[in-house]
Homo-oligomer: A and B are copies of this chain.
Amino acid sequence: MNIPQYSDIERAHRRIENLIHRTPVFTSRGIDALTGGELYFKGENFQKAGAFKFRGACNAVFSLSEEEVKRGVATHSSGNHGAALALAARLRGGNAHVVMPENAPEIKKIAVAGYGARTIFCKPSLEARESTLETVIEQTGATEIHPYNNFSVISGQGTAAKELIEDYGEFDLIMAPVGGGGLLSGTAISVKKMLSGCRVIAAEPEGADDSFRSFKSKTLLPSVNPKTIADGLLSSLGERNFTIILDLVDDIVTVSEEKIIEAMRLIWERMKIVVEPSAAVSLAAILANKVDVTDKKIGIILSGGNLDLGRLPF
């Protein structure tokens, strides 16, 4: 299995640094006082297309040959990856084919189409998504860009933690949410190479705890009927991602829906930024005392800021 090294993340960063935003980092005296730690939040909600996903999609698309770009890229995604891939393809001058379940939120359909992708709708099942994607690839010759179980995508996602460490130096702990594991695996590769002694801990919703169970049992277990407000974290862990996570991540903890909502509201109120529920799970774990941050310097990757403001939980 092809697993990226830190040198691949460096190469990815050189490839995409003029295409992505070097996102700002936020701090809050109020949240520090509340948690007892010194917290630095990397604001990927300000990334292009509103989430860290653009880093990986961009690296994947810009790693392709001219010939491959001509045939286009394809994925099935109801979330941030579809929009990120669409935008990356447009910047490279290629086509993106995005398979979406017909019941995907209207706002996501508009976002993907707005970036100029061709959207193909299918029944809302994993089987329908995979078979529709297969047909699209057969018809077009497009290259599939998997949202997380992909060498170039993982390398791209690792650039967020790399920037955080370059800009803010040493950390005792760096945290990221875990869904499919793209962000977490890339983050772990960067952290473990750049900082000695810095721990990496992931947070996951209790209602979608396949990574937690897989990590504890050291066996890749699928996500079964996941249910959480953190809709970016519903995916099952990828194989490549799991291999890296088992090797480099120190712990995975789970958090309740209530704490995710509380953490999200706290970030909005104190830092005046809009983040999606998935971005709030790390702080939720800290608020729930699942992670000890007392007198420690912590980096937290805020995954993104895409959510339906008409359906807020508060």
Evaluate contact between B273 and A272: CB separation under 8 angstroms.
yes
Is A168's beta carbon under 8 Å from chain B? Answer: no
Q: What CA separation (Å) do A312 and B305 show in the bound complex?
A: 18
Q: Point out the residues of chain B lying under 8 angstroms from A309, CB to CB.
A: 265, 268-269, 314
Contact pick for A24, options B24, B310, B312, CB 8 Å? B24
* Cα separation A269 to B305 with both chains bound (whole Å): 8
Q: For the complex, what is the distance from the CA of A268 to the CA of B275, rounded to whole Å?
A: 10
How far is the CB of A110 from the nearest CB of chain B, in Å?
11
Residues of B within 8 A of A272 (CB): 45-46, 50, 273-275, 305
- Chain B residues positioned under 8 Å from A305 (CB to CB): 272
For the complex formed, measure the closest distance between the CB of A90 and the CB atoms of chain B, giving whole angstroms.
13
Interface residues of A in 284-314 (CB under 8 A from B): 305, 309-310, 312, 314
> Closest chain B residue to A302 by CB distance?
B272
Per the CB 8 Å criterion, the residue count for chain A at the interface is 16
Q: Which residues of the other chain, B, contact A24 by a CB distance below 8 angstroms?
A: 24
A45, A46, A268, A269: most-surrounded residue (chain B CB, <10 A) = A269
> A242 CB to closest chain B CB, in angstroms?
31
Q: What's the nearest-Cβ distance from chain B to residue A120, in Å?
A: 24
Q: How far is the CA of A275 from the CA of B275 in the complex (A)?
A: 14
Kindly state the separation between the CA atoms of A272 and B268 in the bound complex, as whole angstroms: 10
Fill in one digit per residue for A8-44: 1 if any B CB lies within 8 Å of its CB, else 0: 0000000000000000100000000000000000000
- Which A45-94 residues sit within 8 Å CB-CB of chain B? 45-46, 50
Instruction: Name the contact of A273 in the complex, choosing from B50, B274, B310, B314 (C-beta under 8 A).
Output: B274
Query: In residues 221-272 of chain A, which contact B (Cβ within 8 Å)?
Result: 265, 268-269, 272
CB distance from A84 to the nearest CB of B (A): 15
Q: Closest CB of chain B to A91's CB: distance in Å?
A: 13
B-contact bits for A99-134, CB 8 A (1 contact / 0 none):
000000000000000000000000000000000000
Q: Which residue of B lies closest to A29 (CB)?
A: B48
Q: How far is the CA of A24 from the CA of B23 in the complex (A)?
A: 13
Nearest residue in B to A107 (C-beta to C-beta)? B269
User: Which residue of chain B is the closest to A307 with respect to CB atoms?
Assistant: B269
> Which residues from B are CB-within-8-Å of A269?
274, 309
Q: How far is the CA of A176 from the CA of B160 in the complex (A)?
A: 35
Once bound together, how far apart are the Cα atoms of A24 and B50, in whole Å? 18
In the bound complex, what is the Cα–Cα distance between A310 and B272 (angstroms)?
Answer: 15
Kindly state the separation between the CA atoms of A310 and B261 in the bound complex, as whole angstroms: 12
Q: List 19 A-B contacts (CB under 8 A).
A: A24-B24, A45-B272, A46-B272, A50-B272, A265-B309, A268-B274, A268-B309, A269-B274, A269-B309, A272-B273, A272-B274, A272-B275, A272-B305, A273-B273, A273-B274, A274-B274, A309-B314, A310-B314, A312-B314
Q: Which 10 A-B pairs have the closest CB atoms?
A: A272-B305, A272-B274, A45-B272, A268-B274, A310-B314, A265-B309, A309-B314, A273-B273, A268-B309, A46-B272
